[in-house]
Structure 1
Amino acid sequence: MESVPVSVVWFKRDLRVSDNPALVEAINGPYPVLCIFNLEPERLERADVDPIHIEWELDCLTELRTALESIGGSMQFNLGQVTDQLSELHETYDIKHLYSNEETGLQWSWDRDKSVAEWCSANGVEFTEFPTNGVVRRLGTRDHWKKHRDARVSSEQINTPVAMESPKGFTSNSIHSMEQLGLAARTLVERPLPGEKAALNVLYSFLDERGRTYRKDMSSPITGWDACSRLSPYLAAGCITIRQILHHTRRKQKKVKVNPRSKENLGWTSSLSSFQSRLAWHCHFIQRLESEATMDVIALNPELDGHLAREMDVERYAAWSQGKTGWPFFDACMRSLIATGWINFRMRAMLQSVASYTLWLPWTDTGLHLARCFLDYEPGIHWSQVHMQSGVTGINSIRAYSVRKQSTDQDPDGDFIRTWVEELRDVPKEHIHEPWLMSDEQQKEYNCLIDVDYPSPIVDEKTARKEGVSKSYSAKSKPESKQRSLLVYEVHGSRKRR
């Protein structure tokens, strides 16, 4: 009996039906469509992957499966190698065409994608990939990248399909539970709802009201919780695209421009402008990983990184990673991140900066810890930021955050500190930022004995930070570091007007 010819849509981190060119092209083609998702055992073992990532992705996949079934499609889940899944399907069906959207990831995912391309070539299957957001594949230089990026994310959205045909006998199978995978994810406080519909609802709530104070409130972990878009977990799973977000943002912008000083529109002009800038950064940083798939293990400027020669200090790493450094605001930020899976961008930068400059810890190890903490872990953005905040690019400014300054700027009354560092819940405002300066009597009065209930600072923050900055400038000035920096800029440097 002759096999039924089919097209296959391979879903990866693009878990949506709307604005999905791979899905729509397959549906518009001449063959019935099979939809597949593959979870690689290798990924479960990776040091940058945490069970919260897998649970989030599978929950979003479940929502996608429901959406596909509502228009006549089916989704099959597989745990194993995707080429094995394709081979098994090819024995039952005659796969004519494989469609997918490009994914920018670390080296292991590049190797996976290349193995799929090789499988298609060996089996006479046409393989078509579509660009994702503003990332340009095979980009030689950053000259004119912005023009390509802007044109792509400003183009018309792909229409959402309303019907599709699956071959007879092809039905959805069950998606593995976390228990079946042998994984247990930590419970996150106020974890977002998964899936494409939830992503759009979060976007609408941001553009309806939450984003009004985005520009002035995004830097604080207190106000940023509501004022930031909170779309990052959905972007990481591909439940929504930059093009979709920009489309709705620009619609809002047009409404605001009619009467920007009205009570209804007050505050929106600057906030929408800042928000669009950050969306551009999103593509800019992921573009770096597109060209350097080993950013989790090799610095963009390896010569500079070699001169820095940071070494692991187990005691410092433990205090940093657990939020037990003795710096209340820092510890609150780390504990909040671990509990919720999210913290605002400025505080992410501070967490990494303190690790690299003040504590002089290796960025590879600290970067892995933060990757596991973030529900919205996006390798391109994450490792680009780790490199920048650790001073290993050679083209970015050395920016070492003062914990004391961030503490008084972002949490002047200490409310955030008391929320996440329970040992300090009774400490008043005048001592909350530097509790180790309290007298013995005050420590007893406020139920916080230093080095008993809460640690004293692991190092003198100001002295250690300045020492780290000095060593970083010295390493950056070395001839070989400067030479590599020229190459880094050519491939990765921002061209604001081009």
Structure 2
Amino acid sequence: MNSSKEHINVVWLKRDLRLEDNEAISNALETGKPTLLLYVFEHILLNDDHYSERHFNFIKESLRDINQSLQSYDSKVLSVTSDIQSAFNLIQEYYKVDTIYSHVETGLLVTYNRDKEFARFCRNNLIDWVESKNNGVERGLVDRDNWFDNWEAYMEKDLKVFHPKENQLLPLEKIQSLESVFTVTDLETPNNTSFQKGGSTTAWIYANSFFESRHHDYMFNISKPEASRSSCSRLSPYIAWGNISIRQVYQKGLKIKNNSKDTRHIGAFLSRLRWQAHFIQKFEMEHTMENASVNKGYHKLKKSISQDYQRAWKEGKTGFPLVDASMRCLIETGYVNFRMRAMLASFFTHILWQPWQAATTHLSQQFLDFEPGIHFPQLQMQAGETGINNLRIYNPTINGLKYDPEAVFIRKWVPELSKLDTPFVHEPYLMTEMEQTFYDFKLGEDYPNPIVDIKENRKRASDILWNMKKDPEVLRESLRILKRHTISDRSRMLRND
């Protein structure tokens, strides 16, 4: 080994694309050694069906934002396209890597397997790999005893401040030399999209506006598909990709709440941060949820595949206006609120009677805030295949009338219905031939007929799934799941404080 090589630390950035309150960066800087910040656009993720261009553009915007902040330190993130072991092999040709710092990633099975292989790589190359807890989620738990206490304690810790010593970050000149031997990733992204832009700078614009004013109608509008777009925090993509830590948001929210008379809405928001961590912890402890129902009793449930049904759902052409508006909005903007997401999943799995696994990649590709630890547990819960949650089969017409009564959201995203009177916007299939003539509108041409009989299909799903909850294997698995994943004092999760 060439002893003349400069010794450095490397911070491997993944879903923690920020400088502040980043324990991996803080731990590296505390050693005093020269430090390289690295992001690798890995082939295993570039080629994974769960990801799409919108995700990688968000990552690129986040990296540009970090690089803007690093200009005053004469440094930037080395951003390359490679697999992770090849990237470190190249770096080691020029530097002696002593320690790699990163956060534990609760990701897909491919990233979990990659991490196991990378741990062997580090051992073989005499590199220490130090992983930090990510947003309070813990690896290696067998049950949830004391989990909530530990999570709260983590949230109350002091925030990590980004404060490198002079010349501690690897300078631009040395990073540019490394770039000459790598496939450097172009960080430019399209400007003309409807997606939220990545980066901590933008994350704090959303956070500050929410805590200053937008939260005032949070609970009133949380389920409304149009009003929620401004009344909800809209921080989910920034949390998912780590532009902002949950600890930063949690502490900011507590501070606002403790100094405000308007505590209900902030408290409700903070309780959802707890639930977010709860679901990711559940996935961390049982990663098989990515491909199979967590309750093994539902593995015997068989559904017929209909490519026509699935295509209509993916394209927003099912003949059910709120379903179609939600899907089209999601495709265009990367966001719909929680209730609309639940309705899309429920409609696919219950009304169309399709397996939830067939919805995973389409939805993950559309969700700008795709977070594996939320994605798979929520899909299974909405599909009614956990055995421990209430069965919810959403009726899109009832939800439309309740949460979009004037059909503002539907008209916006299904413009072919915009000229109809509101009752027909919600239920165009009730129009008579005469009414269609009056509106110069042809059902089946201007807008699809419903692709299924919702009452008949809803009853089928309800009957089958309620009966399955009594199945001995489903019951045994339900007890196992409750023992492994249930928090002893659920009231603490539900409280609005």
What is the TM-score normalised by the length of structure 1?
Answer: 0.93
1:287 and 2:281 matched = yes
Question: Which residue of structure 1 lines up, in the alignment, with residue 340 of structure 2?
Answer: 347
In the alignment of these two chains, the number of paired residues is 482
1:110 and 2:112 matched = yes
Question: Which residue of structure 2 lines up, in the alignment, with residue 312 of structure 1?
Answer: 305
- Displacement of 1:160 after TM fit? 2.4
- Whole-angstrom distance in 2 between the partners of 1:206 and 1:230: 8
1:176 and 2:190 matched = no
- Displacement of 1:289 after TM fit? 1.6
- Displacement of 1:418 after TM fit? 1.0
Deviations 1:115-174 (A, max 9, x none): 221111111111111101121111110122111111111211111225451346522548
Correspondences of 1:362-377 after superposition (within 5 Å): 362-377=355-370
- Displacement of 1:449 after TM fit? 0.7
CA contact (8 A) 1:52 1:185 kept: no
1:100 and 2:102 matched = yes
CA contact (8 A) 2:288 2:294 kept: no
- Whole-angstrom distance in 1 between the partners of 2:287 and 2:136: 17
1:202 and 2:196 matched = no
SS of the aligned residue for 1:294 comes to: helix
CA contact (8 A) 1:33 1:73 kept: no
Deviations 1:211-236 (A, max 9, x none): 11101111111110000000011111
CA contact (8 A) 1:7 1:98 kept: yes
Cα 1:222–1:119 change in 2 (3 A) is: same
1:445 and 2:454 matched = no
Question: Which residue of structure 2 lines up, in the alignment, with residue 303 of structure 1?
Answer: 297
Question: Which residue of structure 1 lines up, in the alignment, with residue 169 of structure 2?
Answer: 166
- Whole-angstrom distance in 2 between the partners of 1:187 and 1:450: 33
- Whole-angstrom distance in 2 between the partners of 1:494 and 1:455: 45
**Counterpart AA for 1:177:** D
- Displacement of 1:109 after TM fit? 0.6
**Counterpart AA for 1:103:** E
Deviations 1:460-488 (A, max 9, x none): 21221121111111122111111111112
1:221 and 2:215 matched = no
Question: Which residue of structure 2 lines up, in the alignment, with residue 64 of structure 1?
Answer: 66
CA contact (8 A) 1:15 1:238 kept: yes
Correspondences of 1:85-484 after superposition (within 5 Å): 85-161=87-163, 163=165, 165-167=168-170, 169-172=173-176, 173=179, 175-177=184-186, 188-189=193-194, 191-256=195-260, 260=261, 268-304=262-298, 306-484=299-477
Runs of 4 or more above 4 Å deviation: 172-175, 184-187
Deviations 1:177-231 (A, max 9, x none): 389xxxx989642x22320111111100000101111011111111100000000
- Among all aligned residue pairs of Structure 1 and Structure 2, give the percentage whose two residues are the same amino acid: 34
- Displacement of 1:101 after TM fit? 1.2
Cα 1:162–1:96 change in 2 (3 A) is: closer
- Whole-angstrom distance in 1 between the partners of 2:354 and 2:120: 40
Moved more, 163-172 or 20-29: 163-172
Unpaired runs of 5+ in structure 1? 261-267
- Whole-angstrom distance in 1 between the partners of 2:412 and 2:16: 36
- Displacement of 1:294 after TM fit? 3.2
Unpaired runs of 5+ in structure 2? 493-497
CA contact (8 A) 2:66 2:76 kept: no
Question: Which residue of structure 1 lines up, in the alignment, with residue 495 of structure 2?
Answer: none
- Displacement of 1:98 after TM fit? 1.0
- Whole-angstrom distance in 2 between the partners of 1:427 and 1:239: 43
SS of the aligned residue for 2:11 comes to: strand
1:32 and 2:34 matched = yes
- Displacement of 1:437 after TM fit? 1.0
